Structure 1
Amino acid sequence: MRFMSGWRRFLILVPLLFFLAHLFSVNELQYNPPPQRPVPPNKHSKYNHLVLGPAPGQGFTNRLHCHPQGIKALNKTHFSTAPTSLADNVHFVTVFTLYNATPADDDRSSNLVTVGNASYTKLDRSMAILNIFVNFIQAAMPRSNVVILTDPASDLSIHRNGVTIHPIQGEYSRDKLMLQRIRSYIAFLESRIEEVSQNQGHNEHYIFTDSDIAVVDDLGPIFHDYPNFHLALTFRNNKEQPLNSGFIAVRGTRGGILRAKAFLQEVLKVYISRYMKASRMLGDQLALAWVVKSHPSFDPKKFTKANAFIEDIGGAAVLFLPCAVYNWTPPEGAGQFHGMPLDVKVVHFKGSRKRLMLESWNFFSASSDISDMLCLILKSGRTKYDF
């Protein structure tokens, strides 16, 4: 009987123990709530100010390292303003045109964007980007000239030393601008052939670029370190779009210009025959990749390693330069885990990164420190901006 009595007392205590344990757990949760998962931002939202975040690349010896707090480079990049050669000049060539906007659209306060102490309309933004494109070139390569290829009907007015406006007839509508860009490059090279024949011994090399790039180091050594190429392209490890058309270098000899012209004519032919559905964007890059990859001796696996190499493509000696150095793009979202290469020479502010280009120049103008400016780009390159 005593055994049964003890057993009954035990059965009575079990619910009580369970209740006390539950009460303790609830009490503990009140003091130590479970961590809340961060709510992801709307992927379509854009910011009207810089949002600094962690700088990837820590632990990699060949990557830019930035201070965890503030905007300060822990290792310095090389930035030289000394001309590489007194005999050779480098001309930067870009295609740029203005599109008509109604006064109502341009004056609408919702369309104004403020960067620093300045507010920009849509037209102002375009011109500001173009001027900063020139600013970076003249800071990094003060002996270089800028040539702007444009629609003769475009009311483009820019009065700056070392800048030339070169009108070329063509179709500059938004839907055909990438196609027209190749045609403008070809027309410009044709205009150079006769002049080169008259100036033997004095080379003027050409770098065709988008107008949303920042040159942050001297690019003249390309033409000296790789003396045997006719034109140069930039590549990345991307199966479908390994080549970026925002940077094309052409050696300024007669042979270099003729072979570069023939190469671009082949790209134009492929563009028109295969990729007109992508004429507004990407068609030129797809055509570039097709011309290169369709060459029988070319091995696409070379695009998987960020090392420069030269290949003969249709009679032209083509130098392939890694985008990581000569066409680096600030990340949007979770890209570029390995950060910015320490020897980066060109930063490409594609798409909505235009505001970051203006912010970067403002920062550089105030600090005159290219390494710190690159940290600003690296730490703020994870946000979609309002351009």
Structure 2
Amino acid sequence: MRIGVGWRLYLFLLPLLFFLPYLLSVLELHKNSIVEDLPKKNRKKFDHLVLGPAAGQGLPNRLQCQGIKALNKTHFSASSHVASVGDRISFVTVFTIYNTSLDINADGRAINLLSVGNASYSKTERSMAILNVFINFIEVTMPLSDVIILTDPASDLSVHRKGVTIYPIEGEYSRERLMLQRIRSYITFLERKLEEHSQGRRHINHYIFTDSDIAVVDDLGHIFQNHPNFHLALTFRNNKDQPLNSGFIAVRGTPDGILRTKVFLQEVLSIYGSKYMNASRMLGDQLALAWVVKSHASFDTRRFTKAQAFVEEIGGASVLFLPCATYNWTPPEGAGQFHGMPLDVKVVHFKGSRKRLMLESWNFLSSSNLSDMLCLILASGRTKYDF
């Protein structure tokens, strides 16, 4: 009888031996989630910043933060905002407004309003707010630069800002083709600038093609000063499939620089159309960029693993490769911020749902300094927001 009871007890406890490690893992995970105070289980987008520990604590050459207070200062440059005497730098972005009637219901009231600080935005208004913050950062860090917005001639885009030019270019600006159209617009823009040079234009105007969801947080004139021989510059990261990001392309404004960049982008456009049209809404341009670069037999992709600038000849163009860590840094979502923010960061890219963070950062900057604002960004890029 005792043997039967013992056997039954053994059978009862046996499953616990298999489930015990699992239960301990769950308890440990729950404990960690409490320590970090992050809403990991809630997958909904948030309408507020979610602060967490700033990554990179104790690492050399990384921003150190206590909350949203910077303990060390970033390495901001003190350049003259121009590459050399007489040269200018223009920022060029592609931007268009879609059907604004979708923002209003039958009663004429705005729908799907989103609040950031004391302001509420419709979908169109928040896109315009991001564009204006993009311009604001350039005005602060590079006040002698201007902004050129390439857009659909049919778009009802109106930006009344000093130093901002609306530049209509015909094309297909639908959401499904916007990345493809962006390259076409860049090529058309460069062709027109070549025509101006052929008509006797004497001064040099360098161009930096960017997405409109970036914040320039330091002067970029040193790119053209310190690297005098490149035609175009791209930003790279240690990513096997997508090592290049198309959200930042610098172009030397000499006739040769403009021509070689145009030819380079024409090759990218050709590869885009022949190989990556299935990714035309997103990523196709980056995949095409990577294909053009990596298709050259002499190119060593191992150079992408080190965050150091280098120059390589690609199809007749001298291409400067700049590390994303400095010139195209993105606040990671979730817990992926293992290395923190480099002290020499120049450009912050608020991709995807990080755009709320871009607006919040600008609002915070008005009552703080740039280093503290970067701590806010570093501590906030931890979840998916409502943009």
Q: Normalising by the residue count of structure 2, what TM-score does the alignment of the two structures yield?
A: 0.87
Matched residue SS, 1:170 = coil
Q: Deviations for 1:10-35, whole angstroms, at most 9, x for unmatched residues?
A: xxxxxxxxxxxxxxxxxxxxxxxx88
Q: 1:96 maps to what in 2?
A: 95
Cα deviation for residue 82 of structure 1 reads 4.0
Residue 200 of structure 1 deviates from its aligned partner by 5.7
Which residue of the partner structure matches residue 377 of structure 1? 377
The one-letter amino acid paired with 1:240 is D
What per-residue deviation string (whole Å, max 9, x for no partner) do you get for residues 182-216 of structure 1? 00000000010122345565210000000000000
Distance 1:271 1:214, change over 3 A: same
Higher-Rg structure is 1
Alignment of 1:250-289 (within 5 A): 250-289=251-290
Contact 1:207 1:250 in 2 (8 A): yes
Name the structure 1 match of 2:23: none
CA RMSD of aligned residues (A): 1.8
- Pick closer, same or farther for the CA change 1:255–1:48 going to 2, 3 Å: same
User: For residues 226 and 206 of structure 1, what CA distance do their matches in structure 2 show?
Assistant: 15
What whole-Å deviation, never above 9, does each CA across 1:106-155 have from its counterpart, x for those lacking one? Answer: 97776111111100110110000000000001110000000000000000
CA contact (8 A) 2:234 2:249 kept: yes
Contact 2:79/2:222 (8 A) holds in 1? no
Cα deviation code 1:220-264 (max 9, x no counterpart): 110010001000000000000000000000000000000000000
- In 2, distance between residues paired with 1:327 and 1:116? 26
Distance in 2 of aligned mates of 1:145 and 1:61: 35
CA contact (8 A) 2:111 2:122 kept: no
Amino acid at match of 1:46: K
Preserved CA contact (<8 Å) 1:147 1:165: yes
* Structure 2 CA distance for aligned equivalents of residues 98 and 214 of structure 1: 21
Q: How many pairs align?
A: 351
Partner of 1:386: 386
Once residues 152 and 125 of structure 1 are traced to their aligned partners in structure 2, the CA distance between those partners, rounded to angstroms, is: 21
Report deviation, 1:380.
0.6
Distance 1:257 1:174 in 2: 28
Using the TM superposition, give the Cα deviation of residue 87 of structure 1 relative to its aligned residue in structure 2, in angstroms.
1.7
Contact conserved, 2:235 with 2:327, CA < 8 A, in 1? yes
Query: Which position in structure 1 is the counterpart of 2:363?
Result: 362
Letter in 2 for 1:379: A
Q: Secondary structure at the match of 1:311?
A: strand
Aligned to 1:83: 81
48-57 or 226-235, which deviates more:
48-57
Kept after mapping to 2: 8 A contact 1:229/1:318: yes
CA distance in 1, matches of 2:186, 2:106: 32
1:73 aligns with 2:70: yes
Query: What SS does the corresponding residue of 1:223 show, helix, strand or coil?
Result: helix
Q: Which shows bigger deviation, 370-379 or 187-196?
A: 187-196
Find the aligned partners of 1:366 and 1:110 in 2 and give their Cα distance.
31
For residues 105 and 245 of structure 1, the distance between their equivalents in structure 2, rounded to whole angstroms, comes to: 39
- Structure 2 CA distance for partners of 1:107 and 1:344, relative to 1, 3 Å: farther
Partner of 1:62: 61
TM-score, reference length from structure 1: 0.87
- For 1:300, the aligned partner's letter is T
| C-alpha spacing 1:43/1:267, structure 2 compared with 1 (3 Å) | farther
**Letter paired with 1:374:** L
CA distance, structure 1, for counterparts of residue 198 and residue 95 of structure 2: 28
Q: Secondary structure at the match of 1:111?
A: coil
Paired residues of 2:130 and 2:358 also in contact (CA < 8 A) = yes
| Distance verdict in 2 for CA 1:246–1:356, change over 3 Å | same
What is residue 134 of structure 1 aligned with on the other side? 135
Work out the percentage of aligned pairs sharing the same amino acid.
Answer: 73
Structure 2 segments unaligned to the other structure (5+ residues):
1-26
Distance 1:375-1:261 versus aligned 2 partners, 3 A rule = same
For the residue of structure 1 that corresponds to 2:245, the secondary structure is strand
Segments of structure 1 that go 5 or more residues without pairing to the other structure are 1-33
Q: CA 1:123–1:314 in 2, change beyond 3 Å: closer, same or farther?
A: same
Q: Is 1:324 aligned to 2:321, yes or no? A: no
Cα deviation for residue 44 of structure 1 reads 3.0
Q: Within 5 A, what are the aligned runs for 1:17-56?
A: 37=31, 38=33, 41-42=40-41, 44-56=43-55
